[in-house]
């Protein structure tokens, strides 16, 4: 596209040169002179030509700068999970489902306020299993210190809802 425009421009210049030397059309010497004139003009033309694409190139570079490269966009993707963050309701629903799926939990007892041991009758080993299941559901890795503290659904909801990487 850019090349095409440049070609048209240089043609125009050639034309003006030809027009100025119109009377000596058939004279070989004149033809040669014309050629030399054209050759002399060429740097000037080229300079103009070279000038013309630069604003376009600058604009293209600016566009490139403002719109990150595809790879950069892809790399930034995990970070942008903040934007599409889970809603609290979604977290609550999915956590309740995780609890209901545990073999030792009576599904009718599960409520968003349930305490794992007091309300659902789970022991500490079951609680470890539940927290591991929560990790898998939301594709998290909960460190031991944090996992030890999660002993009820409200705490689990709090943890997952505030976790930036929860999906």
Residues catalogued as catalytic? 123
CA distance 126 to 145: 17
Nearest approach in angstroms of CB 165 to other proteins is 17
CB atoms near residue 127 (< 10 Å): 18
Residue whose CB is less far from other proteins, 49 or 153: 153
Handedness of CA 122, 153, 113, 115 (dihedral sign): positive
Nearer to other proteins, 81 or 124 (CB): 124
Q: In the structure encoding, which two tokens stand for residue 105, read together?
A: 């939990």
With respect to other proteins, which residue has the nearer C-beta, 68 or 121?
121
Q: Distances from the Cα of 126 to the Cαs of 11, 48, 111, 130, in angstroms?
A: 83, 78, 17, 6
Q: Phi and psi (nearest 5°) for 145?
A: -60, -40
- How far is it, in rounded angstroms, from Cα 37 to Cα 140? 75
Q: Tokens representing 89?
A: 């309701």
C-beta closer to other proteins: residue 42 or 119:
119
Residues in touch with other proteins (CB under 8 A): 117-118, 123-125, 127-129, 131-132, 136, 144, 147-149, 151
Place of tokens 């014309």: 34
Q: Confirm if 96 and 156 have CB atoms less than 8 A apart.
A: no
Report the nearest approach of other proteins to the CB of residue 97 (Å).
20
Least Å from the CB of residue 132 to other proteins: 5
Name the minimum Å distance from CB 135 to other proteins: 9
């Amino acid at each position: 596209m850019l090349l095409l425009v440049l070609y048209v421009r240089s043609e125009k210049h050639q034309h003006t040169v030809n027009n100025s030397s119109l009377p000596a059309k058939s004279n070989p010497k004149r033809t040669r002179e014309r050629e030399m004139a054209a050759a002399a003009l060429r740097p000037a033309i080229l300079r103009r030509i070279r000038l013309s694409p630069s604003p376009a190139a600058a604009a293209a570079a600016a566009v490139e700068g403002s719109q990150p490269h595809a790879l950069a966009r892809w790399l930034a993707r995990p970070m942008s999970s903040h934007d599409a963050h889970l809603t609290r309701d979604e977290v609550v629903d999915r956590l309740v489902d995780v609890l209901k799926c545990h073999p030792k939990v009576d599904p009718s007892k599960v409520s968003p306020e349930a305490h794992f041991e007091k309300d659902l009758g789970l022991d500490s080993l079951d609680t470890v299993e539940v927290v591991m299941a929560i990790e898998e559901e939301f594709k998290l890795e909960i460190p031991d210190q944090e996992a030890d503290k999660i002993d009820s659904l409200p705490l689990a909801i709090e943890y997952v809802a505030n976790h930036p990487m929860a999906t």
